[in-house]
Structure 1
Amino acid sequence: MLDHNPEDDSKLYIGDTETTDEELEALLTEMEHTHLPLLEDYGFINWDRDTHEVTKGPQFDEIRPLLELMVNHRDELPENWI
């Protein structure tokens, strides 16, 4: 959400990673049942469950510095962090 505009497309953007259909299905399930509800509860995102649209929430700027730090230093982080 830092630099990817969700209005550009209607598909889930998971970066430049290769995944199997099973891995993608597991990721989608985990997102829907764990990650998205928590991020929404904290106010970091707004999530419309009917349209599957995710936008920045009222508290997004609270985590922006952490996200930027992670993206800027992705080569120094463990492989599965980003």
Structure 2
Amino acid sequence: MPQIRFENGRRVIDRWDDVFRAVSAEPRRQVVLSLMEAGPGETVSLPENAVNPNVPEDSETLRYELHHCHLPVLADREFVEWETDPFVASRGPRFDEVAVVFEALQANSAGIPDSLVVGCQRLERERHLDSEK
């Protein structure tokens, strides 16, 4: 029994590590959020759906970074699948494991410090919607 608990514990730790590595960069967070809005079975076009609307980036630089860094990180963990022609991303088999982090944050936006909300359009919107209830 202790060996099973150890193996399950290690597996859960590895999965959480995967999630937090995946969301440790803004373009990856934007891809996940865009896919959450798009819905299952849909694709989002890139690089435009990897841009934080408050901090636009050079699209050619972002295209390069997505192709060589950000999308491989998400795809290696099976959170997304992507193609180069057309340049799009879709939900991967483990997408729910990363999406749940954003769902939890959005559901609890009122309890998140302002320093992590102000300037983040999605959390600002969620906080505003909560205050109207």
User: What TM-score do you get using the length of structure 1 for normalisation?
Assistant: 0.65
Partners of 2:38 and 2:53 lie apart in 1 by 13
Q: Structure 1: which 5+ runs fail to align?
A: none
Q: 1:2-81 residue pairs with structure 2 within 5 A?
A: 2-4=36-38, 10=45, 12-13=48-49, 14-17=51-54, 19=56, 23-70=58-105, 72=106, 73=109, 76-77=115-116
Aligned pairs, number: 77
Partners of 2:45 and 2:80 lie apart in 1 by 17
Q: Structure 2: which 5+ runs fail to align?
A: 1-34, 123-133
Deviation per CA, 1:35-82, whole angstroms, max 9, x where unpaired? 101111110011122321210000001111112234x248552758x8
Partners of 1:55 and 1:31 lie apart in 2 by 14
Paired amino acid for 1:34: C
Give 1 or 2: higher helix fraction. Answer: 2
Please give the secondary structure, in 2, of the residue aligned with 1:40.
helix
Percentage of pairs with the same residue:
27
Paired amino acid for 2:54: T
CA gap of 1:26–1:69, structure 2 versus 1, over 3 A, is: farther
RMSD: 3.1
Structure of greater Rg: 2
